[in-house]
């Protein structure tokens, strides 16, 4: 079974630039999650999708972050404009039935904002 | 709000040593508790879980017991191996479908 795929693995941008991350979940997984993991901290949920609908985006900084999952499969997370404090690893995860406890995680995208 | 606190790390041990990584939590209601592991270059993986007080989760020689009276879920292993070197995260969720709240993680390095 193929795992959760994320790209790119690494990204370095200057502050105020924009950036986008891509995630391809495990086939058949209806629920998709984006987490932000700042160095020295645990992952924090940014947004959860069920198919192409948003279930939880209460911790997403909506003034600069956006995410979409148009066809209920792949997803993109965008930051515009980026700030220094957005430097983190962005993790994508998917699960079969909306249970984050049994989600499968991708390797993440490490973003550095300089 | 809900929160998870792990022991300040990192932890460095010799092979075959006994491991304890402390985890305490604050939550409304009766959460389920989890330990996740992140091996170098890999994604997070669920290691073990416990869903109610006094439950013991176990996997790959690791164990953790849900202690409601001390609001703790400490991770233990009797004899660590070099291959156990990873970052370990304690986490909770209040209901089955609710978001996970993670601790800050503990880096474990096991030397041969």
Whether A2 contacts chain B with CB within 8 A: no
Q: Residue A6 pairs with which residues in a beta bridge?
A: A23
- Pick the residue of B4, B73, B94, B99 with the most A CBs within 10 A to test the interface with A by mutation: B99
Spatial contact of A72 and A19, defined as CB atoms under 8 Å apart: no
- pLDDT per residue of chain B (112 residues) written in tens, 0 to 9: 889 999 777 999 999 999 999 999 999 888 999 999 999 888 899 999 999 999 999 999 999 999 999 999 999 999 999 999 999 999 999 876 678 899 999 999 999 9
Q: Which residues of B25-61 are buried (b: 16+ CB within 10 A; e: fewer)?
A: bebeeebbbbbbbbeeeebbebbbbbeeeeeebeeee
Q: Is A25 on the interface with B (CB under 8 A)?
A: no
Contact A30, A98 (CB under 8 A): yes
* Whole-number percent of chain A with pLDDT over 90: 80
The rounded distance, in Å, linking the Cα atoms of B92 and B112 is 33
Q: How confident is the model at residue A1 (pLDDT cuts 50, 70, 90)?
A: low
- The span from the CA of A72 to the CA of B59, in Å, is 33
Q: Are A31 and A94 in contact (CB under 8 A)?
A: yes
Q: Percentage of residues in chain A with pLDDT exceeding 70?
A: 99
**CA A109 from centre of chain:** 9
Distance CA A36, CA B100 (A): 12
CA distance A109 to chain B (A): 11
Decide: B37 and B45 in contact? Cβ < 8 Å.
Answer: yes
């Amino acid at each position: 079974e193929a795992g959760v795929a994320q790209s790119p693995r690494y990204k370095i941008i200057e502050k105020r630039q924009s950036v986008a991350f891509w995630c391809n979940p495990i086939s058949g997984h209806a629920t998709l999650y984006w987490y932000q993991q700042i160095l020295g901290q645990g992952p924090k949920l940014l947004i959860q999708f069920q198919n192409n609908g948003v279930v939880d985006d209460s911790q997403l900084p909506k003034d600069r972050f956006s995410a979409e999952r148009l066809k209920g499969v792949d997803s993109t997370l965008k930051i515009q404009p980026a700030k220094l404090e957005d430097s983190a690893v962005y993790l994508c995860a998917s699960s079969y039935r909306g249970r984050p406890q049994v989600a499968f995680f991708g390797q993440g995208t490490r973003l550095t904002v300089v | 709000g809900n929160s998870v606190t792990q022991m300040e790390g990192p932890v460095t041990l010799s092979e075959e040593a006994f491991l304890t990584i402390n985890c305490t939590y604050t939550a409304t209601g009766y959460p389920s508790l989890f330990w996740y592991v992140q091996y170098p270059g890999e994604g997070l993986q669920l290691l073990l879980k416990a869903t109610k007080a006094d439950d013991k989760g176990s996997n790959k020689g690791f164990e953790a017991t849900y202690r409601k009276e001390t609001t703790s879920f400490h991770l233990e292993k009797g004899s660590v191996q070099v291959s156990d070197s990873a970052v370990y995260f304690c986490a909770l969720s209040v209901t089955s479908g609710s978001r996970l709240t993670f601790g800050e993680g503990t880096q474990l390095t096991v030397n041969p």
